[in-house]
A and B are shown apart, each in its own frame.
Chain A
Amino acid sequence: MDFLSEHQPEMLPGNRQLPPTQGVIEAPHGTTIVAVTFPGGVVLAGDRRATMGNIIAQRDIEKVFPADEYSAVGIAGTAGLAVEMVKLFQLELEHFEKVEGAQLSLEGKANRLSTMIRSNLGMAMQGLAVVPLFAGFDVDREKGRIFSYDVTGGRSEEHNFAATGSGSIFARGAMKKLFRDDLSEEQAATLVVQALYDAADDDSATGGPDVARRIYPIITVITEDGFRRLTEDEASGLSRAVLQRRLEEPDGPKAALL
């Protein structure tokens, strides 16, 4: 990124001149991203909907990307900018790894992402914000970690679970009630599907599992073996299982009252 800013500054998202605009620019927005840690790793998942105002812009957008071998980033906010930001972020991590011969630490990666979001502040002020959720397996501490961001690039580490995007309030509520600290990988994946279901239930901008079109959430798992995206079959299996239970209990599993 430093090299790029010296040689081809116009390629960096933050360096573009913005025409003066009035009102909000209409562009596809990505919605809900959730993440949950479990002993041995972290699960990061996102729904598939992109909205433009009250219109569904895309039903099968992909909003969760591997950043490198041991981390992934999920994006909420203006889709076009976010995808470009992720591309640049992936490039930076890979570039660093190749030049230095060693991977950045997880903290280092999280800080780098923070700088990139901050450089987008000008756009964010015009309504084109990008708010990612960064999750990775910390090879040194041997555990999964989650970092959340705000539009100004403020970074904070989240413990146990986190969500971002328009449906995040509902997803967070669901995760708060369902989270336990002894989840298995599969249970953690089920939990994120439940959370996304609840988000889609109450937030119009979040898409639920679309059985008719076979569009299911993107679920990724990062453990010490590295990044893995659940296959179409696995994701559909989890989603269908959750959906089946919801046919009996539309509000999902009940947590104990006391």
Chain B
Amino acid sequence: MSTPFYVSPQQAMADRAEYARKGIARGRSLVVLQYADGIVFVGENPSRALHKFSEIYDRIGFAAAGKYNEYENLRIGGVRYADLRGYTYDRDDVTARGLANVYAQTLGTIFSSAAEKPYEVELVVAEVGETPEGDQIYRLPHDGSIVDEHGSVAVGGNAEQISSFLDQRHQDGMSLAEALKLAVQALSRDTNGSEREIPAERLEVAVLDRTRPQKRKFKRVVGRQLSRLLEADGAATEAESSEDSEE
């Protein structure tokens, strides 16, 4: 009879974390930034149909880096959780904090259960408030912990590098165009420090815009509106972006 190898719990957990981190690092990074009128999600995504960002509820958005099938699963779970909550109680009773808790539980359980492989995903759950002070951004790493973030957050591949770049440059009260430009700048820096161009067609951009008159604040920024925001200077786009949000 062969004796199984003894693996210390510390080692087992470290291996699992390593496995998840590597999986996440393979994907492209994405960033979530606060701007004056809400929260903007920016990422590089060659696909038009497979989204990294999506709407969970009225004021809540979701961003994920890592394995598509795993985060899609979590996203649908989140939509179900939110819709069921909103139906049972009231639309106001669905909060990003509650949702982040559910995600943390799910991820944590999967991470520490020996029977399952850890999920190779890192999530961001963001809720736009009535004022910038009311905005909430939570980052959920693969192991089920929750990090309450302010201003800007990056997840995925070289997240550390990007978030330190963002931390230095992000200011409160930026316009959408400014925030978008900063995000693209951050994303287009490679690991070795060189810059590369990301064309608008490869960008996936979405906003949670608190000025939208509808109760559902999530909106994708695509096509002409996106290229206009990328090209124009901050001041000129201010008027246009508010115009677009009326659509």
On A, residues with C-beta under 8 Å from B are 3-4, 7-8, 11, 87-88, 91, 94-95, 98-99, 101
Q: Does B39 sit within 8 A of A, measured CB to CB?
A: no
Contact B76 A91 (CB under 8 A): no
Interface of B is mostly: helix
B80 touches A3 (CB 8 A): yes
Alpha-carbon distance A3/B78, docked complex (angstroms) = 13
Chain A hits for B44, CB < 8 A: none
Which chain A positions have C-beta within 8 A of B216?
94
The chain A residue sitting closest to B50, CB to CB, is: A101
Known A98-B56, A99-B76, A101-B54; judge A87-B83 contact (CB<8 A). Answer: no
On chain B, the residues within 8 Å of A98 by CB distance are 54-56, 79, 83
Q: Which B residues from 43 to 78 make CB contacts under 8 A with A?
A: 49, 51, 54-56, 76
A-B CB pair tally, cutoff 8 Å: 28
- Known contacts A99-B76, A101-B51, A101-B54; A94/B83 CB under 8 A: yes
When the two chains form their complex, are residues A8 and B84 in contact, meaning their CB atoms are under 8 A apart?
yes
B108: A residues at CB distance < 8 A: none
Q: Indicate whether B11 reaches chain A with its CB closer than 8 angstroms.
A: no
B residues adjacent to A (C-beta < 8 A)? 49, 51, 54-56, 76, 79-80, 83-84, 86-88, 216
Considering residues B54, B56, B80, which has the most beta carbons from chain A within 10 angstroms of its beta carbon? B80
- Within the complex, the shortest CB–CB distance from B86 to chain A, in Å, comes to 7
Interchain nearest-CB distance for A115 vs B (Å): 17
Assess A11 versus B83: contact at CB under 8 Å? Given A98-B55, A98-B56.
no
- CB-based contact B83/A88 at 8 Å: no
A191 vs B10: C-alpha distance when bound (angstroms)? 75
Residues of A within 8 A of B56 (CB): 98
* Interchain residue pairs with CB less than 8 A apart (12): A3-B80, A3-B84, A11-B88, A88-B87, A91-B83, A91-B87, A94-B216, A95-B80, A98-B79, A98-B83, A99-B79, A101-B51
